[in-house]
A and B are shown apart, each in its own frame.
Chain A
Amino acid sequence: MNPAQFTVDSRLDGDTAVIYPKGYLNNLAGESLVAECGRYTGKGIRKIVLNFGGTGLINSIGISLLLQIIEDLRTIEGTVCFSDMSKFQIDTLDMLGLLKHLRIFPAESEALQYLGAGTV
């Protein structure tokens, strides 16, 4: 896969949308990730898991897009969980002071379990 070609896949798991960004989240193409989240929230979905297993680089543009998704979910009192992030990605979020504002899980299944357990 060409990392410059950013794509987004998704699926619905019960009342939760699981979204799979693929490629580098470092340019305007990343807006499709925000749009995909918006597509689900537009249908009334308020729980979203972003699986970053297929995403290598996240730069300042990517961080901006993630903040927008988090803000959009907050506006509708929804919840977004991040999963399958690399250590580098988690370190970046930690360094930016964002970890305490995010729900990050090692695996998608754990994020789904968290969202399904009614804890949100």
Chain B
Amino acid sequence: MRPKPSAAELLEIARRTLRGDLLAALPESRRYEALMVANAVAIAGRVLERGVEPEREELAALARLMGETGGAIPSEPVAVRERLGVLYGRLCDELRAGRIVPETDRHRAIFAHLRRTALDRLRESNPKALPPSVA
């Protein structure tokens, strides 16, 4: 059993320490960098907290959209990313070729998937920018 605090909790207290006394003690010229470090730590903390599940769900939804039924969704983050890369590569080819035609069900389904995914990434990368309706 790993010791408490957890990795996410460690990042959180590291970020708070940096944003507190430490930031105030830094010269003006280095404050921006310190804020960037705090932001990087915050993003990493949110991603860690949410784990591999969001990307697995994304992959499951994308596989359905791309007609890949059957076949288990991997649990290894690296394998999930690799599979996402392959399927999104195919989707991008279809988009470029003009094969995703407006006013069709597929166009609507892909739009909905991309929106859901963008929102999910926004939750991790910049939750302050979430639209008020979903924040």
A binds B: no
B positions within 8 Å CB-CB of A? none
